[in-house]
Structure 1
Amino acid sequence: MGFKKIGVACGVNPLPGLKIKAWLIATGSDLDMEVEVVESAQEMPLEPPTPRIALGDRKIAAFLAASELQKAGCEAVIIPDVRTEPFLPELQKELQVPVISLLAGLPESLKAEGIRRIGLLGRAVPQDFYEKIFGADFEFVKLAEDLTPIYDILQSPGEALKKHGFSPENEEMMMKAGEKLLEAGAEVLIPNCTQMARFAEELRLRGLPVIDPLRNAAVEAVKATPKRLPKPFKVGLIGGLGPAATVDLYDKIVKATPAKTDQEHIKVVVEQNPQIPDRTAALLRGGVDPTLAMFNCAKRLEDDECDAIIVPCNTAHAFLPYLQRFIRTPFINMQQAALDEIKAKLGDKARIGLLATTGTVQTGIYSDKAKAMGLAMFVPDAEHQERVMAAIYGPKGAKAGYTDGVCREDLLSAAEVLVRDHGCNCLILGCTELPLILDESDDFEVAGAHVVVIDPTAALARKVVKTAEEAFERTGIH
């Protein structure tokens, strides 16, 4: 015996939802398969003030229900509402769980039976929608004007079919509508009203060739459940460390992305928290530990189903080992991205000068990786390290909003020492504020030499874009 777990958005349209639930269980029994039906109680808001708001209500309610059922682990979802059919592609684009159309497979099966002329029983959805779905092989019988009053009653705001069901009066109105469509040349009838669809079997017993879209969706869901769709790549960014560096990284991701339209750019979630305690102060002066604040950000990003997490702060990477013990989502490491690019550019001849906070220098988050890669790395002496710190934290430094003047002079003085005294041919701007002062370059002149200047923020952005492109190649979706 097989097993299927199917979700039904019953709250969106309760009575048709119950009908689908019954068909799912019956179909499973016929196929010797156990079917677990999961219901969503998400309701449709009542009394929308305008038709446009009514459409928005319907779309959002359907999405909330389907999202709930996706999280519940359903293999497929059915929305028991004909009016959702025109925007199913919009809905599906936001979900991984397959949403089964009430019309799934009908064009193919009717064509195989030689049926070409169709009548729509009801007018919940414009006829041209069906014409587009079924294609040129089918002809839809035009709605006779004298059927309009019948449909107005059955699909009125009071919803006679919900209130009174298959009453003798409602039964006769549906029979009259169906017979007129048959007289106009229809070979089969498709309920274009979810409430009418509830009574397809009763109408068939009275001789109308009615297709039941509720049963059709149930059978399709059980017999041919599609696989879950791949999820678009999404990167999560722990922001606020500091705010300008966050903007800088996001800007560089956008600029590094080879997109021709807005829709080809990468999904990015920014968890902006400038209140995360200062990382350097925690490492050097016993300041408040930022671990929990960073973990909370990372957990939110993981809960939002990000595929990777990035942190636009070099010093903060010293705390990632604590987070990674509890966060399953992989981190793209900024230092590793920068060192990989240096290795690719200069190979074993690289002599790297590190310009970074004292906290970053002392943690070894760059030097340990460089050593493991066989790359030589050097740091400024104590005097010039103080000037690097001033360029970042000083009253005229980058964190105070300055990018030129004193802060640039301080940073260049340390760069000159690294190039002149240690023969560095590459400089790492190892604090996310420093690229705001000095630009990345493959040919930067300093101390009479031409050196490579690597911006780890830009290297991280390029790594993110490469990772996203690889994901797109696997899934085919942005």
Structure 2
Amino acid sequence: MPHTPKFPAPAEPATTCIGIIGGLGALAGADVHGKMLRSIAAGGHAEDYAVLYEQHPFQDGDRLEGGTPELAGRKLYIYDMLQRYEQAGAHCAMLPCFISHTFLHQLRNELRLPIISLMDALLAALRQNAPGARTVGVLTSDYVLGQRLFERHLEPAGHQVCYPSARIQRDCVMEAVYGHGGLKTHDQSPAAVALLLEACHDLMAQGADLIVPGTTEIAMISSLLNVAGIPAMDSNQAYVDHALTIREQMPPQSFKIGIIGGVGPAATVDFMDKIIVNTNAGRDQEHVKLIVEHNPQIPDRTANLIGDGEDPTLAIYAACKRLEAHHADLIAIPCNTAHAYLQRISARVAIPIINMLHETVRHIEGHHAGHRRVGLLATSGTIQSRVYHDAAAGAPFELLVPDQAHQELVMRAIYGERGIKAGYLEGACRDDLMLALAHLVQAGASVVILGCTELPLLLREDAAFPLGELSIVLLDPTAILARRCVELARGGAQG
């Protein structure tokens, strides 16, 4: 009987592995790494956490003309580092760099490894340690200031954000971090501390209740600011504290549909088009991610099932495993006949393979109840393997298939010299298919399944398809599968 695919939650790891991206500020990255190790040790959690920390040469160019950093190289560096951590077994990653958090959404869209938000860490620290702080003074770079990173995250939570005056921002904040002898190269430069104290006094004169370092370098000297009477948060420590507490609250990653394509090629394109058509999206970025393993060299399924053709089991399994390795959340196979091999492989694949046949039977039961005879137009391999019969076992309808003569017409429409697989969509192939369809309707079928993914290229799904004086239901399993995949993608793992 049809069933709902299960998306099991990953097993809770005994040790959480956290990767910290170094190199975006050599001293600041080391500061976060050191605070992480000390916090783990102080909390008695040495057995619960493993920490990865790598730092490679990276020319950040943070003080280019106009104060705008060169972002492209930074993005590629972070992407490569995150991939290294994922391959090394990290469960999540920390990105101790406020500039990089201005494009955090881009990284999350492209990577599966969860990235812990530094801005979420600041909000958590404000709620816990400074609930009365209404006006927050921020010391950050010109670029982050211009991107309104702090306004976007803090103001919705009820905090007002203020910055130093333009002169103080230029001559004190930027000079203290990026200037000669600044915090980028000297972790406790007295000159830099003096400049930042002047900036803090400027912010407090504006009514700031709390000073928040908006660069990880300034966070390194927050204790020196505290000694001087400045109520400054250590944003690096806040990031560490947050990372050690939010394992169960990581944001969900974008859903990705894996498709085994090439079986056949035109049907694959048709299936992808139906996913797009059935997605309610107002712009490109609202569509579902697809990853396609397009392999027309998978041995012919029908030739194997009804003759001595090569067994496609291994090729289908290998395609599934490649999609699994590329982090697909589910697998769709727009080929009815290929479903005859799913029982052999599904238990060995860690992600759900959505069974198009089960979904078709479920669709009939939910949308066309009362129809007692359902016809099936499919390859001889699909019919002889009885995969549709197995899917419909216990369903409240009888499944009808063509007699031998009309089944030969169906096969000719699909595989003939002027058939669909040869690129023909009109003429003899359509005539043959219409004869087989009429034959099933004469036998009493009021619903007919277009049970080969090439057939909907000739006849479209139609709830009232005219055939002589009758009106029948034509069902396209490819469209049904596409709608189900979109539904699962939109509902995440709660399918």
What TM-score do the two structures reach when normalised by structure 1?
0.83
Structure 2 match to 1:389: 411
Alpha-carbon separation, structure 1, partners of 2:480 and 2:139: 58
Q: 2:34 is aligned with what amino acid?
A: A
Please tell me whether residue 451 in structure 1 is matched to residue 463 in structure 2: no
Alpha-carbon separation, structure 2, partners of 1:206 and 1:398: 80
Task: Flag the 1:174–1:281 CA change in 2: closer, same or farther, 3 A.
Answer: same
Task: Flag the 1:210–1:122 CA change in 2: closer, same or farther, 3 A.
Answer: farther
Which residues in structure 2 correspond to 1:152-167 (within 5 Å)? 154-156=176-178, 161-166=183-188
Please tell me whether residue 171 in structure 1 is matched to residue 183 in structure 2: no
Please say if residues 19 and 92 of structure 2, whose CA atoms lie closer than 8 Å, have aligned partners that are also in contact: yes
Please say if residues 21 and 78 of structure 2, whose CA atoms lie closer than 8 Å, have aligned partners that are also in contact: yes
Structure 1 match to 2:453: 432
Structure 1 match to 2:34: 22
Aligned residue pairs total: 469
1:339 to 361, 376, 381: 361
2:94 to 78, 90, 112: 78
Q: Tell me how far 1:433 sits from its aligned partner.
A: 0.8
Q: Tell me how far 1:158 sits from its aligned partner.
A: 7.8
Structure 2 match to 1:36: 49
Name the % identity: 33
Q: Could you list the runs of 5+ residues in structure 1 that have no partner in the other structure? A: none
Structure 2 match to 1:126: 145
Task: Flag the 1:363–1:10 CA change in 2: closer, same or farther, 3 A.
Answer: same
Q: Tell me how far 1:39 sits from its aligned partner.
A: 1.9
Can you list the C-alpha shifts for 1:227-270, whole angstroms capped at 9, x where unaligned? 22334443211111111101111222222334444444333322
Alpha-carbon separation, structure 2, partners of 1:375 and 1:42: 64
Give the SS at the match of 2:293.
strand
Task: Flag the 1:162–1:347 CA change in 2: closer, same or farther, 3 A.
Answer: closer
1:406 to 420, 428, 439: 428
Moved more, 360-369 or 86-95: 86-95
Q: Tell me how far 1:467 sits from its aligned partner.
A: 3.2
Give the SS at the match of 2:298.
coil
Report the aligned-residue RMSD.
Answer: 3.6
Q: Tell me how far 1:139 sits from its aligned partner.
A: 5.5
Alpha-carbon separation, structure 2, partners of 1:368 and 1:134: 56
Please say if residues 18 and 49 of structure 2, whose CA atoms lie closer than 8 Å, have aligned partners that are also in contact: yes
Can you list the C-alpha shifts for 1:22-66, whole angstroms capped at 9, x where unaligned? 222333344444362422437475377999882133334334545
Please tell me whether residue 218 in structure 1 is matched to residue 240 in structure 2: yes
Task: Flag the 1:37–1:399 CA change in 2: closer, same or farther, 3 A.
Answer: same
Structure 1 match to 2:326: 304
Task: Flag the 1:60–1:109 CA change in 2: closer, same or farther, 3 A.
Answer: farther
1:54 to 44, 67, 70: 70
Alpha-carbon separation, structure 1, partners of 2:361 and 2:392: 7
Q: 2:75 is aligned with what amino acid?
A: K
Please tell me whether residue 105 in structure 1 is matched to residue 127 in structure 2: no
Please say if residues 123 and 154 of structure 2, whose CA atoms lie closer than 8 Å, have aligned partners that are also in contact: no
Q: Tell me how far 1:381 sits from its aligned partner.
A: 2.7
Alpha-carbon separation, structure 2, partners of 1:145 and 1:201: 25
1:237 to 248, 255, 259: 259
Q: 1:221 is aligned with what amino acid?
A: A
Give the SS at the match of 2:463.
strand
Q: Tell me how far 1:449 sits from its aligned partner.
A: 3.8
Q: Could you list the runs of 5+ residues in structure 2 that have no partner in the other structure? A: 1-13
Moved more, 356-365 or 81-90: 81-90
What TM-score do the two structures reach when normalised by structure 2?
0.81
Which residues in structure 2 correspond to 1:202-281 (within 5 Å)? 202-205=224-227, 209-223=231-245, 227-281=249-303
Moved more, 297-306 or 228-237: 228-237
Task: Flag the 1:110–1:31 CA change in 2: closer, same or farther, 3 A.
Answer: closer
Moved more, 116-125 or 214-223: 116-125
Task: Flag the 1:336–1:116 CA change in 2: closer, same or farther, 3 A.
Answer: closer
